């Protein structure tokens, strides 16, 4: 399959990209790494008049420090993070998660911002960075705003981004030395989409404990004050049931197991 014809533009800077999107009036689409959008265009499941390629805009490839937060540009690739080219503030969580995203060829092209904006509930960054308490930095016609990732997705592939918005960066709170994290996903094979996945971040010095359950049919399940979940398997099972993740009993079994194993990782440290 080949895509239906579209205009391809490569703006030099963010302002130019935002102008193009505004002019497109909803028929333009942002392309970052293109690892999800490309196949969807090829199969004609997605159609655009104009593709605005932001992947080479320098200001979207920067990393900056803002005291207790690190700001990672949207067009930083998974591979850069996997390879440790970005300062780690998550006690190794981001390197570890990056290394498990799909295949290396995809990690070479795919970007952290593109993955978040695509908003697949099985995506590694969606789940792990929501657990980390990260925020999306969004630029639009009215300037810049921030949205916590736990509020960012409305549903699978649906976000708070308007057609004329660009997710420019992600702000990740620095973990304290005492912070622990767990991440578990179950895929049938290496690189496959997850059947079940969970992430947990616990940072006692910040009084922070959050669990996120992914591979859902809609937006991920976020449990912001999750300390009770760490106490017993029964609490985990109740959480799965409460969030209707076991309507299909086999899926429920997988979600339950992934969550238990994820939490076990922080308990065993």
Partner 1 sequence: MVSNARSNKGVGGRLLRKEDDRYLRGRGQFVADIKMSGMKEVAFLRSPLAHARINAITIPENLKHKAFCWSNMSGVKAICAMTSLAGFKKSEQSPLASDKVRHVGELVAMCVGDNRAQAEDFLEELVVDFDELPAIVDMVSAQQKGAVLVHEDWGDNVYLESKWDGDLSEAKANASITVTRQIRTNRQCMAPIEGKGVVAYWDNRMDQLVLYTSTQMPHIVRTGLAECLNLSQANVRIISPDVGGAFGYKGILTPEEICLGWLAMECGHPVRWIEDRREHLTANANCREHEYQVTAYADDIGRILGLEAVGAVNAGAYSAYPFSACLEGAQVASILPGPYIVPAYQCNINSISSNKPPILPYRGVARTSVCFAMELMIDAIARKVGREPYEVRLENLVPPTAMPYTNITGKAFDSGDYPESLRRAVESINLKGIRERQATNEKDGRRIGIGFCTFCEQGAHGTSVYHAWGVPMIPGQEQAVARLTPDGSLELRIGAHSHGQSMETTLAQVANEILGIDPADVRLVHGDTQYTPYSTGTWGSRCAVMSGGAVSTACKALAERAAKIAAHLMKLDLKEVQIIDGQAKGAASSISLAEIAEAWYYKPQILAADVDPGGLEVTVGYRPKIDTGTFSYASHAVVVAVDTELGHVEILDYVIVEDGGTMINPMVVDGQVFGGAAQGIGTALYEEMPFDSVGQPLASTLADYLLPGPTEIPAFRIEHMETPSPNTEFGVKGIGESGAIGPPAAIANAINDALAPIGVEVLETPVTPRRILAAIAEAQAGAQS
Residues in the site for partner 1, rule: CB under 8 A?
Answer: 1-5, 39, 43-44, 186, 188-193, 195-196, 249-250, 253-254, 257-258
**Closest Cα partner for 229 from 202, 269, 194?**
202
**Cβ-based nearer residue to partner 1, 177 or 189:** 189
**Cβ-based nearer residue to partner 1, 39 or 204:** 39
Q: Are strands 135-140 and 166-173 parallel, antiparallel or unpaired?
A: antiparallel
**Cβ-based nearer residue to partner 1, 157 or 186:** 186
Shortest reach from residue 42's CB to partner 1, in Å: 9
Shortest reach from residue 1's CB to partner 1, in Å: 5
Residue 245 CB coordination number (10 Å)? 21
Residue 85 CB coordination number (10 Å)? 12
**Cβ-based nearer residue to partner 1, 66 or 247:** 247
Shortest reach from residue 258's CB to partner 1, in Å: 8
**Cβ-based nearer residue to partner 1, 5 or 247:** 5
What is the Cα–Cα distance from 104 to 136, expressed in whole angstroms?
25
Beta bridge partners of 159: 153
- Orientation angle between helical segments 249-267 and 233-242, nearest 10 degrees: 140
**Cβ-based nearer residue to partner 1, 23 or 233:** 233
**Cβ-based nearer residue to partner 1, 148 or 252:** 252
Three-state SS for 174-196 is CCCCCCEEEEEEEECCCCCCEEE
Shortest reach from residue 257's CB to partner 1, in Å: 4
Shortest reach from residue 234's CB to partner 1, in Å: 16
Shortest reach from residue 15's CB to partner 1, in Å: 32
Shortest reach from residue 102's CB to partner 1, in Å: 10
């Amino acid at each position: 399959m080949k895509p239906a014809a579209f205009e391809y533009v490569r703006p030099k800077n963010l302002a130019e990209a935002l102008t193009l999107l505004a002019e497109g009036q909803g028929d333009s689409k942002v392309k970052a790494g293109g690892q999800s959008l490309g196949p969807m265009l090829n199969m004609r499941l997605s159609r655009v008049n104009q593709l605005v390629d932001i992947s080479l805009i320098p200001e979207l490839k920067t990393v900056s420090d803002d005291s207790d937060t690190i700001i990672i540009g949207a067009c930083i690739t998974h591979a850069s993070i996997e390879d440790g080219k970005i300062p780690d503030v998550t006690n190794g969580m981001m390197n570890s998660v990056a290394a498990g995203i799909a295949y290396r060829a995809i990690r070479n092209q795919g970007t952290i911002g593109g993955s978040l904006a695509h908003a697949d509930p099985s995506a590694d960054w969606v789940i792990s960075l929501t657990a980390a308490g990260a925020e999306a930095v969004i630029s639009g016609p009215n300037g810049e705003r921030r949205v916590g990732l736990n509020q960012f997705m409305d549903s699978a592939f649906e976000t708070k981004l308007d057609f004329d918005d660009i997710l420019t960066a992600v702000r990740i709170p620095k973990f304290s030395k005492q912070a622990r994290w767990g991440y578990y996903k179950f895929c049938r094979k290496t690189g496959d989409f997850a059947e079940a996945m969970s992430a947990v971040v616990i940072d006692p010095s910040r009084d922070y404990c959050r669990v996120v359950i992914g591979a859902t049919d809609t937006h991920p399940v976020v449990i912001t004050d999750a300390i009770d979940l760490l106490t017993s398997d029964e609490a985990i099972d109740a959480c799965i049931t409460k969030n209707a993740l076991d309507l299909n009993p086999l899926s429920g079994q997988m979600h339950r197991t992934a969550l238990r194993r994820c939490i076990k990782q922080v308990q065993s440290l």
